Amino acid sequence: MAARRAFLALILAVAGASAAAEEIGDAVRGEGLFQRQCLACHKVGPTAKNGVGPRLNGIFGRRAGGLADFKYSKSMARMGTDGLVWTLETLDAYIENPKALVSGTRMNYRGMADGQARADLLAFLREWSDRPQNIPEAEPTARRSTHDLDPAILAIRGDPAYGEYLASECQTCHRRDGADEGIPSITNWPEADFVVAMHGYKRGLRPHPVMQMMAGRLSDDEIAALAAYFATLE
């Protein structure tokens, strides 16, 4: 019996170690990914400077749009003002699907679907932040997770007429004519972008508290209806 208990304990320990290993990215593989997919726009390291995109030294814990010497898109700057901070979770979501967090981002990248690849990339970037890798007081270097929407949600066909009925509350802040005066326009948005953005608020990835509250009250069908309505406006 004692031998059996010891054997089971060993199995559980190995399983636990394997699960932990899956949460930690491989920084060496991440460096290769960075060089192939990111280096054209972003720099990182001791001599890194801003290029097409901002330098990524110290990205962990930094407010979105937080470098004073880089001109960010209006959308990225707004998200920083709303309180978006680059953490393991928000970086993972942004790399997987940039529009999940920042609808108007200038980053011309379709996203990285593979969770392990994102973990590896984040492990590499973590080495160039001021919170080094794998120290007791830090979070794990990277997590494997998914922030992508269920395809069934994106496939919902919204009813524009129902969306118009629901839209009155939206239009107390967002201009129907598409004017952008401190509050971003949502007129003529592609439906998928609208749905992804609203679910970003609904899941707490986008930080604006009012939008989180508004999105949290909407069903998937209601979000699809609003998306269909605002996509029809010119």
- Same structural domain, 39 and 117: yes
- What band does 21 get if pLDDT is binned at 50, 70 and 90? very low
pLDDT at 163 over 70: yes
Q: Residue 159 sits in a domain of what CATH number?
A: 1.10.760.10
Q: Which amino acid is at 143?
A: R
pLDDT at 126 over 90: no
Distance CA 83, CA 60 (A): 14
- Same structural domain, 164 and 106: no
Number of domains present in the structure of the chain: 2
**What mean pLDDT is reported for the chain?**
82
144 part of a folded domain: no
- Same structural domain, 167 and 76: no
- Same structural domain, 119 and 179: no
**pLDDT value of position 17:** 36
pTM (two decimals): 0.70
The helix/strand/coil state of 63 is: strand
- Domain hosting residue 156, numbered range: 151-232
pLDDT one-digit tens code per residue, 46-68:
999 999 999 999 998 899 999 99
- Same structural domain, 122 and 155: no
Among the candidates 111, 126, 141, a domain finishes at 126
- Same structural domain, 99 and 57: yes
pLDDT at 121 over 80: yes
Distance CA 25, CA 122 (A): 7
- Same structural domain, 34 and 105: yes
Q: Residue 60: CB partners within 8 Å, gap ≥ 6?
A: 86, 87, 88, 91, 125, 126, 129, 130, 131
114 part of a folded domain: yes
Strands (E), the chain: none
- Same structural domain, 111 and 204: no
Mean pLDDT of 185-195: 86
Exposed (0-12), middle (13-18) or buried (19+): which is 147, by Cβ within 10 Å?
buried
pLDDT at 220 over 90: yes
Q: Residue 105: CB partners within 8 Å, gap ≥ 6?
A: 73, 75, 76, 98, 99
